[in-house]
A and B are shown apart, each in its own frame.
Chain A
Amino acid sequence: GAVVSQHPSRVICKSGTSVKIECRSLDFQATTMFWYRQFPKQSLMLMATSNEGSKATYEQGVEKDKFLINHASLTLSTLTVTSAHPEDSSFYICSARTQGGNSPLHFGNGTRLTVT
Chain B
Amino acid sequence: GNSVTQMEGPVTLSEEAFLTINCTYTATGYPSLFWYVQYPGEGLQLLLKATKADDKGSNKGFEATYRKETTSFHLEKGSVQVSDSAVYFCALSDGYNQGGKLIFGQGTELSVKP
Interface residues of A (CB under 8 A from B): 4, 6, 32, 34, 41-44, 46, 49, 57, 93, 95, 97, 100-110, 112
Contact = CB atoms under 8 A, between A and B. Distances in A.
B70 to A, nearest CB: 20
Given A32-B100, A43-B89, A101-B96, A109 B105 contact: no
Contacts of A49: 99, 101
B65 interface: no
B86 interface: no
Contacts, number: 63
Closest 5 CB pairs of A and B: A101-B95, A102-B32, A102-B95, A107-B43, A109-B43
Contact of B107 (A34, A42, A110): A42
Contacts of A6: 43
Contacts of A105: 46, 93, 102
B107 A43 contact: yes
B89 A44 contact: yes
A42 B68 CA distance: 27
Given A101-B100, A107-B45, A110-B43, A42 B106 contact: yes
A49 to B, nearest CB: 6
